[in-house]
Structure 1
Amino acid sequence: MARILRFTIAFVLGFAFLVTASSAQAAQAARADGTVARTAVAVRVLRYDAGRAAEFRSAVDQAAQIWNSGVTNVRLVAGSPADFVVLADNGWPRTQPTSLGRGTVWMGRQATAEGHNPLRIAAHEIGHILGLPDRRTGRCTDLMSGASAGVSCTNPYPNAAEKAEVERNFAGFAPVIDFGRIYTESPEAVSP
């Protein structure tokens, strides 16, 4: 019996060592310049439920594909149980990330009624779920500038810095977003 117990303990300790070593290797994959070595990081799959996104369902699915084509260590797939839920309502678009990759997105009709692009909104709001904060730069090339870029901006693609930040977030670095906070795109939030 003692021999089986020693073997079991050795096996558990060996397995724990392997898991710890692989986590350390993934963390070391981050380079000094802030980029992430793409081969050393495992892909984290996030499931989303857009079943209650109404007319925004297609935009949400397209936004997920945009993120999937832009980053390598996280993959968004429709399914359940969901890590994040997307809902449609009549307010302004907003997101409440509860932890990295988890939370609730509201696709608000008020913004689209004023001319904002639904695909850009969906990609932006998913950016919050992926750990990105609002950056009200007013530049259309910055996805996380959100509504500050104006209604003429239809760009739904994250820029290189935004993609790299998501890669870092899912490689184990601490995101700069405040979990539990509701990020909203209302004009009051956009005003300086």
Structure 2
Amino acid sequence: MFLRKTIAVLASAAALSLGVVGTAQAARTITYDSTGAALYESDITEAVKVWNASVKNVQIKKAAAGTRANFTIVSDPGWPRAQPTTLGNGKIWMGKQAVDQGYNKIRIAAHEIGHILGLPDIKPGPCSSLMSGSTGGVPCTNPNPNAAEKSRVERNFAGTAKADLTSVEDAA
């Protein structure tokens, strides 16, 4: 009897710590500063909307003026790239090189944000994979993460997976 009660108590404690019982786990909020990429502001806003509609364990919002953001987005003449530091933090460059070649700007922004959320490149890959980046081809305009990409971000922000946060240089 004692053993059964002990197991029940331990199971309840484990369920609570995993967020299985009670209210749903609150989403982690991360913020961004895109003042250095004003040219791409509407594209970045749309990419953030895509991610916020796709996952629940993390939500992204623009940092209030004068506050420190989790990640910054700037524009430069090079190729788009991201440099994650820790999960949800880092820097994104919206490289003009890919934009000039005709790559979709919302897809570029969503792809690079994917790196900040802990996703690696999937290359080569199909257009249906957001993280396939430039290997989806110039005609690819899909800014949406696929089911596996969404699931990985959910796990990353639920604390059940360790993200690979190596520096990434790539195209959307």
TM over 0.5, shorter chain: yes
Instruction: Pick the aligned partner of 1:156 from 117, 131, 143.
Output: 143
Identity %: 49
**Shift in Å, 1:174:** 2.8
Q: 1:23 to 1:109 in 2, by over 3 A?
A: farther
**Shift in Å, 1:58:** 1.1
Aligned residue runs from structure 1 range 8-27, under 5 A? 24-26=17-19
Answering whether residue 122 of structure 2 is matched by residue 135 of structure 1, we say: yes
Structure 1 segments of 4+ aligned residues over 4 angstroms from their partners: 20-23
Answering whether residue 55 of structure 2 is matched by residue 71 of structure 1, we say: yes
C-alpha distance in 2 between matches for 1:139 and 1:23: 39
Q: 1:117 to 1:23 in 2, by over 3 A?
A: farther
Q: 1:51 to 1:163 in 2, by over 3 A?
A: same
C-alpha contact 1:25 1:40 (8 A) present in aligned 2: no
Instruction: Pick the aligned partner of 2:158 from 150, 171, 185.
Output: 171
TM-score between both structures, scaled by the size of structure 2: 0.84
- SS of the counterpart of 1:148? helix
The structure with the larger Rg is 1
The amino acid across from 1:73 in the alignment is: N
Instruction: Pick the aligned partner of 1:184 from 162, 166, 169.
Output: 169
- SS of the counterpart of 1:115? coil
- SS of the counterpart of 1:146? helix
TM-score between both structures, scaled by the size of structure 1: 0.75
Q: 1:42 to 1:23 in 2, by over 3 A?
A: farther
C-alpha distance in 1 between matches for 2:16 and 2:81: 33
- SS of the counterpart of 1:86? strand
C-alpha distance in 2 between matches for 1:132 and 1:49: 20
C-alpha contact 1:95 1:129 (8 A) present in aligned 2: yes
Give the superposed CA RMSD.
2.1
**Shift in Å, 1:21:** 6.8
Answering whether residue 35 of structure 2 is matched by residue 51 of structure 1, we say: yes
Number of residues of Structure 1 aligned to a counterpart in Structure 2: 156
C-alpha contact 2:87 2:163 (8 A) present in aligned 1: no
C-alpha distance in 2 between matches for 1:86 and 1:23: 37
